[in-house]
Structure 1
Amino acid sequence: MARIAVIGAGAGAMAAAARLSVAGHRVTVYERSRTYGGSLGRYARDGFVFDTGPGLLHLPAVYRDLFVKTGKESLEQCLTLTQVDPASRHLFADGTGVSLPNASRAGVVRALDRALGEGAGARWGEFLDRAGAAWNRSRRPLLEEPLPEDPRMLSRDPYPAVRRRRLLRAARQARTSAEVGAWELEDPRLAALLDGYALSYGLDPRHAPAAAALLPYMEETFGSWYVAGGMRALADAVYERCLARRVEFVFGAEVVRVSEKDGRAAGIELADGGSVEADHVVLGAQPAPGLLPVREEGPSGAPHRGPVPGRFLVLLSLRGTREAGAVHRTVVHTGDPGAELEAVFGGRAAELPTVTVLRPDDPATRPDEEHEAVSLMATVPPHGPVDWEDAALRERFADAVIGRAEEAVPGLRDRILHAEVRTPAETAADTGAEGGSVPAPALAGAGGAYLHAGSRTPLHGLYRAGGWSHPGGGMAHAGMSGALVAGLVVEGDGFRGSQ
């Protein structure tokens, strides 16, 4: 039985902890804050309850596998999952809108044809076919296996872009997500749909490889799921599973350094001066300067193209009943995508942001049927390039976000009882992520520039889990990272992922 110290209590770290404890190891989690869950936070006031992180779950099979492998009770025995249908409604700058059914390729094609004109659905369906080919080519090495020491196999883009013939000049293929939208989808509204997926994950479609097509493919193929009570309930369930497997938690314990002895990880040092010996250390958080005793080389995530974006939230407590037929998730697309991208990835607040409106039909989120809890989200630069502690800026941007959301919920302003604003500054304080940045999922292509640091590290006995490591950010990806770390610790460097 090995002693294992886990740094951080985010979803990926807890997934690793539960799996390692089941394998017979003594696991202790050290968390700098006073609670678990990482980005899966919760804000509550006067009977209204809001998620402060992701609002929907994609690829729930990742957590079903975690619960199958760590206990008798399945995921669905521990919480309630419901498919959101329609999966999303999209409002475009020209006034058109479309509701996309959940996990139905044929239904999406029909909806796009009805809303955007004959042929739009076929173009999107053909695009998803190519995205599916990219998924099949890259799924195992990108998501289910440890990142190889030589990641060049993932440096080539798996997306089979259409070759465009040009008069008297060589044919060209789309290399970026934005080029896929412009060259293959043709309709600017379909291009906005694709760009919106990339932006929601904190990716710049102008530079993200064409393999970003995997993001809409995953959502539209495997569906979008709502966790009753909010996504924080998933964190609660994983935490309870850890406790049931005898994982120990120490909260308010900031780890300042991983100790080294004889060329391997030997434990951790705490901010209060204490130290803990361990046979293995799992780093489940973004490493602060000085935390690691060795310098890591190779993929390190998205910092290669400027600041990594965060999320701006406006949590609205509303008077009035949620109307029948209200859509759970609506995306209000910007009318000036170029200006928004220049702002978000240039370190400025956008004048006309894309806004996602979440309206869960869940009695647990509101005091009674005469009220409603609504969350608004926009992708923004992190704290640092933008001073998100500036009260005037916070108020001005929140007002812009609410104004955009009124396109999805007419009369929204008149119903507001209370508005809670949360910016990357709050995310940084809550999670410790630099600037409140939110890591994006790993992508193949672009020479490996969109990969993250591997589960293994140069220091023997030190592993990495969570969104800042392979295979990147997002709830499903974080859960996968925990499975990879557990496999490496239990089976050694010969572990090649689940079969």
Structure 2
Amino acid sequence: MARIAVIGAGMGAMATAARLAVAGHRVVVYERGATHGGGVGRFERDGFSFDTGPGLLQLPAVYRDLFVKTGKETLERSVELIQVDPAARHLFPDGTEVLLPNASHGGVSQALDGAFGAGAGERWSDLVNRAREVWDATRRPLLEEPLRSDWQVLGRDPYPAAAMRRWFGGRRPATLAEVARRELDDPRAVALLESHALAHGLDPRSAPAAATVLAYMEQTFGTWYVRGGMRALADALYERCCQRRVEFRFDAAVTGITEKDGRAAGLELADGTAVEADAVVAAVDPALLPPLLGGRRPWDDGDVAPELGPGSGVPGRLTVHLGLRGARPEGTAHRSVVHAPDRDAELAGVFGDGRGTRRPCRRPTVTVLRPDDPTVCPDADHEAVTLTAVVAPHGPVDWAHPEGVEDDADGLMEAAKLVIPDLADRVLWREIRTPVDTAAATGARGGAVPAPALAGAGGRLLHPANLTRLPGLYLAGGWAHPGGGLAHAGMSGALVAGLIVEGEDFRGSQ
């Protein structure tokens, strides 16, 4: 039985801990905050309850596998998992609306024909079919296997016909935005495709064509909600860890990772406690590791490594939680996406305008979540609503400026009125959360939210490997391979547990 010390109590950390505990190891989790879940938090006020992180789940099979392999209670017996249908209602600046059914390729095609005109569904289906080839080519190396030592092969874009011809001869990799314009034609369909990338904090102007796989995954595997919110999933995973005798130490900030005989050998805590361990799993931003290692970088030149410095440049989220008077209307879509009227201004505000300037867009793309869940409201005569937009992280934009934050929240409210026309009359109160709040809750630099790993773009969208160059030190969570998102964090736990239990020859989860 090995002693495993885990830094952080997020979803990737707990997924790793549960699997290692089942394998017979003694696992202790050290969390600087007062609770588990990491970015999967909860805000409560006046009988209302809101997720402060992701509000929906994709690829639930990841957590089904985790719960099956760590105990007797399945995922469905641990939480109430609900398939969201329709998957989303999209509202475009020209007044067009489209309801997309959940996990139905044919249904989506029919919906797009009805909203955008004959032929739109076929063009979309053709693109999604090509995206399936991306999924088939990258599912194992990106999601189910440790990052390869020859990771450079993943820098090539697997999207069919991804190359674009230059004006003066030659070819270059296409971006998602270029593929969207070339293959979809209709600007509303282009915005629909690009919104899948933007929702993950990816710039469609520079994201590879392989980012089409994000639309394929949602359309193929569906979108799910957990009764009580995603925090209920975090609670269930925490309970599973406790059942497997994983120990948690909260308010236990780690100030150092100790080494012995060239291996990670334990932790130093802020209160002076020294912890001995046979292996250390760091489920935090890898850029935070050098200070914990006395300046040492646990990767070599040529490895996938994080961008060091005060901020990663990765976008964050601006969120407005609304307590509303009045019942949720029958037939209301769980998720509505109100597309920005000026996409160029939005992308410049989130990712920069090429001159290093980022200014929040007054009317960004806004996701409106209205769960049909009585457990998140004080009673049937009230409704809990969450508005979210992807924004620049703290640093390039000052999210600590109260007046500016209020103005930006007003912009989200303005967009939400297209979904809830009587919004102004129904609001009891609103609670605003910015990247500054995310940074305080999760420790993420600038309040950034990691994106999932993608092939293409020369490997720029890969994440550091789970196995580091310091023996005994492993990386888990959204900032490590295979990247951000609930499902990907769960996958990181399977990969790290496999590397520790089976050794460095571990070839991936089955």
TM-score exceeds 0.5? yes
Which residue is equivalent to 2:138? 138
Which residue is equivalent to 1:348? 359
- Separation of aligned partners in 2, 1:378 and 1:417: 21
Query: Structure 1 residue 299 and structure 2 residue 304: aligned?
Result: yes
Query: Structure 1 residue 371 and structure 2 residue 356: aligned?
Result: no
Q: Is the 8 A contact 2:157 2:173 kept in 1?
A: no
Count of matched residue positions in the alignment of Structure 1 and Structure 2: 498
Q: Is the 8 A contact 1:130 1:161 kept in 2?
A: no
Query: Structure 1 residue 224 and structure 2 residue 223: aligned?
Result: yes
Deviation at 1:452, TM superposition (A): 0.3
In structure 2, the CA distance between the partners of 1:238 and 1:86, relative to structure 1 (3 Å rule), is same
1:124-170: per-residue Cα shift (whole Å, max 9, x none)?
1000000001100111001100001220121111111367789x975
Deviation at 1:387, TM superposition (A): 1.4
Q: Is the 8 A contact 2:67 2:74 kept in 1?
A: yes
Which residue is equivalent to 1:476? 487
- Give the letter aligned to residue 333 of structure 2: V
What is the SS of the residue equivalent to 1:421?
strand
- Give the letter aligned to residue 432 of structure 1: G
Which residue is equivalent to 1:464? 475
Which residue is equivalent to 1:316? 322
Deviation at 1:329, TM superposition (A): 0.3
User: TM-score, normalising length from structure 2?
Assistant: 0.95
Q: Is the 8 A contact 1:280 1:461 kept in 2?
A: yes
270-279 vs 101-110, greater mean Cα deviation: 270-279
1:240-260: per-residue Cα shift (whole Å, max 9, x none)?
000000000000000111111
- Give the letter aligned to residue 15 of structure 2: A
1:413-461: per-residue Cα shift (whole Å, max 9, x none)?
1110010000000000011111110000001111111100000001000
Q: Is the 8 A contact 1:330 1:356 kept in 2?
A: yes
Q: Is the 8 A contact 2:312 2:445 kept in 1?
A: no
In structure 2, the CA distance between the partners of 1:11 and 1:116, relative to structure 1 (3 Å rule), is same
Q: Any gaps of 5 or more consecutive residues in structure 1? A: none
Q: Is the 8 A contact 2:162 2:209 kept in 1?
A: no
- Separation of aligned partners in 1, 2:423 and 2:172: 44
In structure 2, the CA distance between the partners of 1:409 and 1:490, relative to structure 1 (3 Å rule), is same
Which residue is equivalent to 1:124? 124
Deviation at 1:292, TM superposition (A): 3.2
Deviation at 1:306, TM superposition (A): 6.6
Q: 1:492 aligns with which of 491, 497, 503?
A: 503
Q: Output aligned runs, 1:328-407, within 5 Å.
A: 328-346=334-352, 347-407=358-418
Which residue is equivalent to 1:408? 419
Deviation at 1:351, TM superposition (A): 2.0
Which residue is equivalent to 1:246? 245
Which residue is equivalent to 1:36? 36
Q: Output aligned runs, 1:443-454, within 5 Å.
A: 443-454=454-465
Which residue is equivalent to 1:105? 105
- Separation of aligned partners in 2, 1:47 and 1:424: 25
In structure 2, the CA distance between the partners of 1:412 and 1:484, relative to structure 1 (3 Å rule), is same
Which residue is equivalent to 2:291? 290
Deviation at 1:389, TM superposition (A): 1.4
- Give the letter aligned to residue 483 of structure 1: A
Which residue is equivalent to 2:355? none
Q: Any gaps of 5 or more consecutive residues in structure 2? A: 353-357
Deviation at 1:183, TM superposition (A): 0.9
- Separation of aligned partners in 2, 1:199 and 1:165: 25
Deviation at 1:337, TM superposition (A): 0.7
In structure 2, the CA distance between the partners of 1:303 and 1:94, relative to structure 1 (3 Å rule), is farther
- Give the letter aligned to residue 350 of structure 1: C
Q: Is the 8 A contact 1:27 1:247 kept in 2?
A: yes
Which residue is equivalent to 2:440? 429
In structure 2, the CA distance between the partners of 1:83 and 1:192, relative to structure 1 (3 Å rule), is same
Deviation at 1:394, TM superposition (A): 1.0
Which residue is equivalent to 1:277? 276
- Give the letter aligned to residue 382 of structure 2: H
- Separation of aligned partners in 2, 1:173 and 1:365: 49
- Separation of aligned partners in 2, 1:120 and 1:300: 41
- Separation of aligned partners in 2, 1:171 and 1:355: 39
- Separation of aligned partners in 1, 2:153 and 2:56: 31
Deviation at 1:377, TM superposition (A): 0.1
- Give the letter aligned to residue 221 of structure 1: T
In structure 2, the CA distance between the partners of 1:306 and 1:18, relative to structure 1 (3 Å rule), is closer
